[in-house]
Chains A and B, each alone.
Chain A
């Protein structure tokens, strides 16, 4: 990964070239401070949204060089966007944050050989090439399913890993046997339908939770939709955009746009909050792309989170008794990029409340970040762990049987934090389960 390809055009300044009114929109009133997990941790302004924006503005104004400290600060930010919800002035923090990280990468101020290698292998190889991601998924599945993983852990070989990886190894997600393309046909649902919708399978969701994708399709079918799922979709580029690689993010976005015929679709549905909040802003991302700019704006209007779409079309409430015999309680953790990134809070609750035999108990601080935040739990394990502990304590206080959440990152983070004590599920999976049990009881 060399710098010129990263910047797109050599010499491009991300923050200085931004529309200045985006930076200026922050009136530094401070209303974001109590919503920011890192400010609450340190009570230092530089670790707060308005503090970070002042640093970005200083860079844009030429008052501050893009320094290593600046870079570290931009990566200490979770990107949870809780500040966007709290902001009275409607500052577009997501755009500022992505450009600031891109600026950090362009100036390479956080350089280390290891960091460069990992960024290259993940952003430019594994998550840039769907076939490679699937191939690695297969290998990992074999390693985990064959007992090899158990054996390696047993004889203590994991101790040979470098410190950071060694700590993370136990929380490696369990890869599914079959990925989404095996579970979902390219077109599902007959010729009589109310809506034809496109389905996004994601990358982590595809490898680790393809069942959530299957459930999404089933719920859509139950609600009069024909579902079109293009093959080998790959990563939407949110991972790249959130990590300062806007060049590759544009590449991923173009690839995805080319796979969907928007004129024939009423909506394109995503079930992963982190992807959805990125997918809705292709218009800005590709605004200078001569071939894709127009389609990207069209795309933004069609992207819907699954819960948003279901409520928009008035989904059918499942009938009948409890899916399991006992009354179950569920609590709802709001994925940051669903509630803060997309402003969707009511709809997932509406889905959960529609399910017979399921009782929704509210979670304290439901909109606080769980610490997953994309790859934050890998890059900033200390802070991520603190947030996970807080989240786990709140979930335990609800005594719920199930915790529902609509993002694979949160799902893994919470499941790893809670272990056997609770089951994490996507709200749409609970709805699919209710539809299935309805049929069984018929």
Chain B
């Protein structure tokens, strides 16, 4: 890795100001990783632009000098998408952090990419509006990062994912040109839907500098239930029947047996000792409908041999019930030094199969893997509890994960439901894109970023 020339650094400083460029080792080491376990690369320079124009000028400079650019928000990604590229610039957008407009007539919100996801929701609330996507890191993740990774969250079944709320965006292309894609219109079929190409592109096609988001009216009321089951099959049957009786809950989350045990050890939430599956259910909407649906869901759970069903009496009770699911990750993360969080996804009807396959694979490779996740949309989080400094164990982890990915694809699923491919899963992408679609991916990249300037080597190897 060669350091940037002094001239380049000076030019960057003239674009973003002296404070906007850091190059000391003490400043760079903390930008060597994102939220992904066991991935690290040293940046040579981190740049903090404050306007679209500055972003464009930095990209133009990088294009002239052929220096790769990795865009970054809060660095909470879970696939290594914003890990630096050797010898490259890290373009950190946290200072583009203004909410520019809340339009309550058109139900839209215009924001810069560095705005924290939670602040979008907070800005919508006073207008009686609602931004549904709620990724686990929403307290600190940026909206730009959410769009670039098409982030999901707990409400996927009813409300979809980030893509369903992006109406338009401003993008800086690898040439440094600034373009606007999409519009404030609900109906818009002019040309290819280019904005959709950039959603989930993980910073490999362009740099998003503004996002126009769709908002919804805030649901009037909400009701939470927690049901425990003696088998995952009973839990799955409950979920199937809820959906086939035309109830679409906003939340349908589950914990497997191992997660239940860890949660109980850590948070003592009072889960039944013989529970092997716990499902958190939540319905929202008009008050009358919500009450009816909550009763119906409770009845379905009971019919399917639930060990216990608890319905929240008030807000505080709802929070208590949700604790089991909310503390799942924390409960698991403290057991071993390294926690690898996966996000394979299968069609909803195949969920029980993948959960039990993960269990068998863990036993086969003598590993600790706990699974929790989103029952409603088939997105599961097998969580490997391991130690990255133990080479032998890490090999077993690799093999086990490869088998889990293979099985997922056999079941008609995808290797990543919400975290993205980045570096962590690029090895497995050809498994899923087994036909000509894989070269199609690369052709798209080549057409839009011909010099492989933007986040090269993420999703698939850089071709140039």
Contacts and interface: CB of A to CB of B under 8 A. Distances in A.
A43 B37 contact: no
Contacts of A27: 35, 37, 333, 338-339
A48 B74 CA distance: 11
Given A45-B75, A55-B26, A34 B37 contact: no
Contact of B388 (A24, A52, A64, A73): A24
B30 A64 contact: no
Interface string B58-100: 0000000000000000111000000000000000001100000
B86 to A, nearest CB: 16
Contacts of A54: 29-30, 32-33
A141 interface: no
Residue among A29, A55, A64 with max Cβ neighbours from chain B (10 Å): A29
B30 A55 contact: yes
B308 interface: no
A403 B455 CA distance: 51
A88 B30 contact: no
Contact of B30 (A20, A34, A48): A48
Contacts of B25: 64, 67
Interface residues of A, number: 31
Contact of B26 (A25, A28, A48, A67): A67
A166 to B, nearest CB: 29
Given A27-B333, A88-B329, A33 B140 contact: yes
A68 to B, nearest CB: 9
Given A29-B137, A69-B24, A90 B334 contact: yes
A289 B394 CA distance: 37
B253 interface: no
Given A34-B116, A45-B30, A54-B30, A25 B75 contact: no
A46 B140 contact: no
A64 B34 contact: no
B26 A46 contact: yes
B139 A89 contact: no
Contacts of A69: 24, 26
Interface in A33-90: 33-34, 43-46, 48, 50-52, 54-55, 58, 63-64, 67, 69-70, 73, 88-90
Nearest to A71: B26
Given A58-B29, A70-B26, A73-B26, A24 B137 contact: no
Contacts of B305: none
Contacts of B334: 25, 88-90
- Top 5 nearest A-B pairs (CB, nearest first) are A51-B30, A45-B30, A88-B330, A90-B334, A89-B333
Contacts of B116: 34
21 contacts: A24-B337, A30-B35, A30-B141, A31-B137, A31-B139, A31-B140, A34-B116, A34-B139, A43-B95, A44-B27, A51-B30, A55-B26, A63-B29, A64-B26, A64-B29, A67-B26, A88-B329, A88-B330, A89-B330, A90-B333, A90-B334
B165 interface: no
Contacts of A43: 94-95
A146 interface: no
Nearest to A43: B94
Contacts of A64: 25-26, 29
Contacts of A10: none
A192 interface: no
Interface of B: 22, 24-27, 29-35, 37, 74-76, 94-95, 116, 137, 139-141, 329-330, 333-334, 337-339, 387-389
A211 B112 CA distance: 53
Nearest to A70: B26
Given A27-B339, A29-B76, A64-B25, A45 B333 contact: no
A89 B337 CA distance: 9
Contacts of B37: 27
Contacts of B34: 28, 30
B156 to A, nearest CB: 21
A112 B413 CA distance: 62
Contacts of A20: 389
A21 interface: yes
Contacts of B32: 54
A194 B25 CA distance: 59
Given A24-B337, A70-B26, A90-B330, 20 more contacts: A21-B337, A24-B338, A24-B388, A27-B333, A27-B338, A30-B137, A31-B137, A31-B140, A33-B74, A33-B140, A45-B30, A46-B27, A54-B29, A54-B30, A54-B33, A55-B30, A64-B26, A69-B26, A88-B333, A89-B339
A45 B329 contact: no
A50 B29 CA distance: 11
A69 B25 CA distance: 9
Contacts of A34: 116, 139-140
A28 B94 CA distance: 17
Contacts of B22: 44
Nearest to B331: A88
Interface string A144-168: 0000000000000000000000000
A50 B30 contact: yes
Given A34-B116, A34-B140, A29 B30 contact: no
Nearest to B32: A54
A44 B32 CA distance: 13
Given A30-B140, A31-B137, A31-B140, A46 B338 contact: no
A266 B182 CA distance: 69
B75 A30 contact: yes
Nearest to A58: B29
A60 to B, nearest CB: 12
A21 B385 CA distance: 13
A46 B25 CA distance: 10
A45 B31 CA distance: 7
A25 B332 CA distance: 12
A22 to B, nearest CB: 9
Interface string A188-231: 00000000000000000000000000000000000000000000
Residue among A25, A30, A58 with max Cβ neighbours from chain B (10 Å): A30
Contacts of A51: 29-30
B78 to A, nearest CB: 8
A70 B24 CA distance: 11
A55 B74 CA distance: 18
Contacts of B27: 44, 46
Interface string A4-31: 0000000000000000110011011111
